[in-house]
Chains A and B, each alone.
Chain A
Amino acid sequence: MNSKLTTPPNNSHIRNFSIVAHIDHGKSTLADRLMEFTRTVSKRDLKEQMLDSMDIERERGITIKANTVRLEYKAKDQKSYILNLIDTPGHVDFSYEVSRSMKSVEGSLLVVDASQGVEAQTLANVYQALDADHEIVPVLNKIDLPAADSDRVRQQIEEVIGIDADGAIEISAKTGKGVMDVLEAIVHQLPPPEGDLNAPLKALLVDSWYNPFLGVVVLVRIFDGCLAKGDRIKMISSEATYQVDRIGVFKPEMEDTSQLNSGEIGYFTASIKRVSDTIVGDTITHQKQPCKEAIEGMKPSQPVVYCGLYPMEAGEFNALKDAIEKISLNDSSFTSETEASTALGFGFRCGFLGLLHLEVIRERLEREYSLDLIVTAPSVIYHVYLKKGGMVEIYNPVDLPDPTDIDRIEEPRIMATILSPDQFVGEILSLCHARRGIQHELSFVEKRAMIRFDLPLNEVVFDFHDRLKSVSRGYASFDYTILGYSADNLVKLQILVNSEPVDALAIMVHRTNCETRGRLMCEKLKELIPRHLFKIPIQAAIGGKVVARETIAALRKDVTAKCYGGDITRKKKLLEKQKAGKKKMRQFGRVDIPQQAFINALKVNTD
């Protein structure tokens, strides 16, 4: 993949590979089996999806961060091999984790759920693997399921992806059936790493994270040379130099070794203070004897979705600030900047890789830091070109300049790839058209449709995925890449509650959709805001023009029927509980708006 190198004899027993698949097709479960069958972890210590160690990963049953583990395998040829496995996330938000993993290995196991077939992220991830020149071993998983149809899926792999699936291995990662064949295939079908042990050190910084005991831990792949404890190293892009403290491999726990050689994957620590001091994709070399050329860098991951995060209570601003700083330490794709809202006070405008990423961060803030948050409507970054010249990037609809000063507004568009059983194509096409999509491709392989649409990211960010799942009864899958910016007729839709605009509810919409969206939001808010002692008008407006309106009728009855001797304490507790419930609301003028309403207002059930 880089220089002309030959395979040194000492590398022939190493295989480096990643496991890629669509979300939930069984990557992490296969990783469990590989650990079990190679006795890396004893059966007793093995947990399900063991490599998913974050609380949120375990709870949601998904992989968010790529994980590495070193397996030692005695193959049928009686030789011992070292297999470095990287388990990757399947969800599109975390595809960056996949792409950087690809650079550090030579092969991929492409796992396809034999009961589901090829899905959007199967495609997206396998293309990344092909781009990285990987050897690919197709694996058909979940053959224990009655719905598994290996022949059909094999054909799909050949026709949709275009790779040979004759030798695809049929396995059940759950029961372990076929897993030995996978191990043999890794040894015999994937190439050993190339590289020159005697050349100057050339290593790729694959990932880094903060460990409270060790400081920053760096995951590296050594291409040339060798990295040893005590070495003085230099990071080529950041130009920083460090001395290596610890060095080792994951089994899957960290295990110290004395050095890592060409072809190997492992970690080191070097008294690096912050994760932001390391650049993913950077080249690491020796300070004294540097390598001649750096490894081609990686594009840093860019947040695409922005929203406001506010503390439920103004007094918690500093706590939120600290928590956000701590999380950013370990997640460079999460960005934040302070902002102020008239409705919500001081908070942060935060950037995320997508909605799942947003959810995950929100959950971590709430759980790990016991914060109560208000999340505002997600937005993309708009490029607003001004009549007087120049362009401003708008992360929050509230900041939109006066419409009379605006020449045009450009929004990001994406290329969406949707795979679905053919019977849902009609519904999916109308969903995409309703979201201002431009159709690029519609093709069928067997009974499977591949649909490609150019869509505004804005229309996809919020509930597109949910809608897609619901119109396809859960069968369609979706992936996207960012295309770039283009102009459209966009306006800011404001929501007025009790005649006052609530900035945190403002969204950007296409002019032709403003009435529908306005109506749906008003209807939803009517459900979400509890009745008050007075009636509350809810309006959606573009500039000064009201485009939709609903009214929340006044509360008519709220009185406890019975209250005698013993009920008094109980009743008081009830009132206290109500009060506590009120705390989950934000007072806006005379109206209490529930915390959840700021985001749920956008969750409309129809298109």
Chain B
Amino acid sequence: MPDQQTIEPFGIYIHWPFCESLCPYCDFNTYCSNQIDHEQWCEAYLRQLDHSAKELTVSQCTSVYFGGGTPSLMESRTVGKILDRISLLWGFSGQPEITLEANPTTVEQGRFLCFRSEGVNRLSLGLQALKDSDLKALGRKHGVKEAIKAYETADRVFNNVSLDFMFGRQFQSAESWIGELQEIVELNPNHLSIYQLTIEPNTPFGKRHAANRLEGIPDEDTLADMYLATMEICERNGFKQYEVSNYSKPGHKGKHNLVYWEYHDFLGIGPGAHGRISIDNQYFRTNTILNPESWLDGIFKLGTGENQRELINQKERGSEYLLTSLRLNDGMSIDRFEQISGNKLDRNAISELVQDNWVGITDGQLQVTTNGRMVLNQIISKLLS
């Protein structure tokens, strides 16, 4: 077996496209359905894995992520079978990270143990807020008390839990968010993902926003204050930020997500899942059929639900690497960028950015400062133009 250090990370993302109900801010590819043939879905995932394994023969799998949708609504057997098949087809490297997303409702909480015994070793719980009224406004089906109980159960079962929260909610002030943050860090999970609520165009929130009917969304300055406070309070409480919206206790960075940001290969399986794979030194972006029924159809008729594959050229690869790696506190390896893109970074742009304290360079890594992270899109634009 090769040395742990030199194994190139390779992640597999499994998309489960169903939720109990749809949250008004969510623009994931997810649907409500009460007629899910679990057997059939299980079979479909396995077939897709088989199909993909034919062209992706080399890497060992370092992480699996069950996302959605609400993958905790999957039958645990399905999860188990998928993991077995991955193990069979590629093998797992030493200590793979197997994450499953779950909603903190009582019902789902009852099934944590089953998932654990099928091989899931990390749970990502979407708490989103510690205020009942806000949870309601966000269309969430759980309450705060219930969520905390679910978290406690998850912590006992997995001892490796990540919690998701959102700020920038309607009528939220920076002060109240700071108070809430304090409660959040006291929950003391291993990992925190804290996002600013993003208003996506094709969602009920997006439509209300466009019609000026989404009231109380905090202004830019308040959002900036909230974000700064998030970074500070997490840091002060032992949650080290390692990405724009992610914080962890030592040794608990999310491995799977690092695959995206550090720009390694990952397979995307399930309706609407995206992947990025390399075959014979060519790099591809893969897309899958969005509609669940059509995806199943694709698999059972053609063996795959993939519907589009685009070659990523060298220049694009460079900019994608820059775009994702600068999100990390560790930053971007200048050497790797130049190797991937075949281009030199714009030294003038960099020295200007260094001078203004937006970025710094440590051991060949280009890293944004806290100031820079606040306006990362601008920095990226400057570096890419």
A residues lining the B interface (CB < 8 Å)? 533-534, 555-566, 568-569, 571-572, 575, 578-579, 582
B273-288 vs A, CB cutoff 8 Å, 1 = contact: the mask equals 1111000000001000
- B66 touches A (CB below 8 Å): no
Contact status A566-B273, CB under 8 Å: yes
Q: A564-B257, A565-B274, A569-B274 are in contact. Are A556 and B220 (CB under 8 A)?
A: yes
Q: How far is the CA of A466 from the CA of B378 in the complex (A)?
A: 38
Q: A555-B375, A559-B377, A560-B376 are in contact. Are A575 and B323 (CB under 8 A)?
A: yes
- B195 touches A (CB below 8 Å): yes
Q: A565-B274, A566-B274 are in contact. Are A558 and B375 (CB under 8 A)?
A: yes
Q: How far is the CA of A466 from the CA of B176 in the complex (A)?
A: 45
- B227 touches A (CB below 8 Å): yes
Q: How far is the CA of A558 from the CA of B268 in the complex (A)?
A: 29
Q: Which residue of A lies closest to B310 (CB)?
A: A569
- In the complex, which residues 262-308 of chain B have their Cβ closer than 8 Å to any Cβ of chain A? 266, 268, 272-276, 285
Q: Which residue of A lies closest to B382 (CB)?
A: A533
- Max chain B Cβ within 10 angstroms of own Cβ: one of A561, A565, A568, A571: A565
Determine which of A556, A558, A579 lies in contact with B376 in the assembled complex, contact meaning CB atoms within 8 Å.
Answer: A558
Determine which of A533, A534, A564, A578 lies in contact with B260 in the assembled complex, contact meaning CB atoms within 8 Å.
Answer: A564
- B365 touches A (CB below 8 Å): no
Q: How far is the CA of A442 from the CA of B245 in the complex (A)?
A: 68
Q: Which residue of A lies closest to B243 (CB)?
A: A563
- B381 touches A (CB below 8 Å): yes
Contact status A566-B268, CB under 8 Å: yes
Contact status A556-B244, CB under 8 Å: no
- B198 touches A (CB below 8 Å): yes
Q: A557-B220, A562-B245, A563-B244 are in contact. Are A578 and B377 (CB under 8 A)?
A: yes
Contact status B377-A575, CB under 8 Å: yes
Instruction: Give 9 A-B contacts (CB < 8 Å), ordered by A residue.
Output: A555-B375, A559-B374, A559-B376, A561-B244, A563-B244, A565-B273, A572-B320, A575-B380, A578-B381
Q: How far is the CA of A562 from the CA of B126 in the complex (A)?
A: 14
Q: Which residues of A contact B227 (CB under 8 A)?
A: 557, 559
Q: How far is the CA of A563 from the CA of B245 in the complex (A)?
A: 9
Q: How far is the CA of A578 from the CA of B274 in the complex (A)?
A: 23
Q: How far is the CA of A556 from the CA of B275 in the complex (A)?
A: 33
CB distance from A530 to the nearest CB of B (A): 11
Contact status A558-B320, CB under 8 Å: no
CB distance from B349 to the nearest CB of A (A): 13
Determine which of B221, B327, B384 lies in contact with A563 in the assembled complex, contact meaning CB atoms within 8 Å.
Answer: B327
- B170 touches A (CB below 8 Å): no
Q: Which residue of B lies closest to A532 (CB)?
A: B378
Contact status A557-B374, CB under 8 Å: yes
Contact status B195-A562, CB under 8 Å: yes
Q: How far is the CA of A558 from the CA of B275 in the complex (A)?
A: 27
Q: Which residues of B contact A579 (CB under 8 A)?
A: 381, 385
The 4 closest A-B pairs by CB, nearest first: A566-B274, A556-B224, A557-B224, A559-B376
Q: Which residues of A contact B13 (CB under 8 A)?
A: 565
Q: How far is the CA of A293 from the CA of B261 in the complex (A)?
A: 87
Q: How far is the CA of A565 from the CA of B12 in the complex (A)?
A: 11
Q: A565-B266, A575-B380, A579-B381 are in contact. Are A533 and B274 (CB under 8 A)?
A: no
Q: How far is the CA of A215 from the CA of B42 in the complex (A)?
A: 74
- In the complex, which residues 110-141 of chain B have their Cβ closer than 8 Å to any Cβ of chain A? none
Contact status A560-B377, CB under 8 Å: yes
Q: How far is the CA of A564 from the CA of B64 in the complex (A)?
A: 14
Q: How far is the CA of A579 from the CA of B316 in the complex (A)?
A: 15
CB distance from B295 to the nearest CB of A (A): 15
Contact status B221-A556, CB under 8 Å: yes
Q: Which residue of A lies closest to B353 (CB)?
A: A533
Q: Which residues of A contact B266 (CB under 8 A)?
A: 565
Q: A533-B358, A562-B245, A565-B274 are in contact. Are A575 and B374 (CB under 8 A)?
A: no
Q: Which residues of B contact A578 (CB under 8 A)?
A: 377, 381
Q: How far is the CA of A131 from the CA of B373 in the complex (A)?
A: 72
Contact status B323-A568, CB under 8 Å: yes
Q: Which residues of A contact B381 (CB under 8 A)?
A: 575, 578-579, 582
Contact status B285-A561, CB under 8 Å: no
Contact status B375-A559, CB under 8 Å: yes
Contact status A562-B285, CB under 8 Å: no
- In the complex, which residues 304-352 of chain B have their Cβ closer than 8 Å to any Cβ of chain A? 316, 319-320, 323-324, 327
- B196 touches A (CB below 8 Å): yes
Q: How far is the CA of A557 from the CA of B221 in the complex (A)?
A: 8
B182-217 vs A, CB cutoff 8 Å, 1 = contact: the mask equals 000000000000011110000000000000000000
Q: Which residues of A contact B374 (CB under 8 A)?
A: 556-559
Q: How far is the CA of A579 from the CA of B257 in the complex (A)?
A: 27
Q: Which residues of A contact B220 (CB under 8 A)?
A: 556-557
Q: How far is the CA of A565 from the CA of B374 in the complex (A)?
A: 22
Determine which of B195, B285, B327 lies in contact with A569 in the assembled complex, contact meaning CB atoms within 8 Å.
Answer: B285
- Max chain A Cβ within 10 angstroms of own Cβ: one of B266, B324, B373: B324
- For the A-B complex with A559-B377, A565-B266, A569-B285 known, give 10 more contacts whose Cβ atoms are closer than 8 Å: A556-B221, A558-B377, A559-B373, A560-B198, A560-B376, A562-B198, A572-B320, A572-B323, A575-B377, A578-B381
Q: Which residues of B contact A565 (CB under 8 A)?
A: 13, 260, 266, 268, 273-276
- B356 touches A (CB below 8 Å): yes
- B234 touches A (CB below 8 Å): no
Q: Which residue of B lies closest to A564 (CB)?
A: B260
Q: Which residues of A contact B356 (CB under 8 A)?
A: 533-534
Q: How far is the CA of A489 from the CA of B257 in the complex (A)?
A: 68
Q: How far is the CA of A560 from the CA of B197 in the complex (A)?
A: 10
Q: How far is the CA of A534 from the CA of B266 in the complex (A)?
A: 39
Q: Which residue of A lies closest to B321 (CB)?
A: A568
CB distance from B286 to the nearest CB of A (A): 10
CB distance from B125 to the nearest CB of A (A): 17
- B223 touches A (CB below 8 Å): yes
Q: Which residues of A contact B385 (CB under 8 A)?
A: 579
Contact status B323-A533, CB under 8 Å: no
Q: How far is the CA of A559 from the CA of B272 in the complex (A)?
A: 25
Q: Which residues of A contact B327 (CB under 8 A)?
A: 563
Q: How far is the CA of A518 from the CA of B52 in the complex (A)?
A: 66
Contact status B375-A568, CB under 8 Å: no
Q: A556-B220, A557-B224 are in contact. Are A568 and B324 (CB under 8 A)?
A: yes
CB distance from B299 to the nearest CB of A (A): 19
Q: How far is the CA of A564 from the CA of B385 in the complex (A)?
A: 23
Contact status A571-B323, CB under 8 Å: yes
CB distance from A19 to the nearest CB of B (A): 43
Q: How far is the CA of A533 from the CA of B382 in the complex (A)?
A: 11
- Max chain B Cβ within 10 angstroms of own Cβ: one of A533, A559, A560, A562: A559
Q: Which residue of A lies closest to B266 (CB)?
A: A565
Q: Which residues of A contact B198 (CB under 8 A)?
A: 560-562
Contact status A575-B378, CB under 8 Å: no
Q: Which residue of A lies closest to B312 (CB)?
A: A569
Contact status B244-A559, CB under 8 Å: yes
CB distance from A163 to the nearest CB of B (A): 51
Determine which of A558, A561, A564, A571 lies in contact with B378 in the assembled complex, contact meaning CB atoms within 8 Å.
Answer: A558
Q: How far is the CA of A559 from the CA of B195 in the complex (A)?
A: 11
Q: How far is the CA of A534 from the CA of B197 in the complex (A)?
A: 26
B10-52 vs A, CB cutoff 8 Å, 1 = contact: the mask equals 0001000000000000000000000000000000000000000
Contact status A568-B320, CB under 8 Å: yes
CB distance from A569 to the nearest CB of B (A): 6
Q: How far is the CA of A559 from the CA of B375 in the complex (A)?
A: 5
Q: Which residues of A contact B224 (CB under 8 A)?
A: 556-557
CB distance from A589 to the nearest CB of B (A): 14
Contact status A561-B358, CB under 8 Å: no
CB distance from A261 to the nearest CB of B (A): 63
Q: Which residue of B lies closest to A570 (CB)?
A: B274
Q: Which residue of B lies closest to A560 (CB)?
A: B377
Q: A556-B220, A556-B224 are in contact. Are A563 and B324 (CB under 8 A)?
A: yes
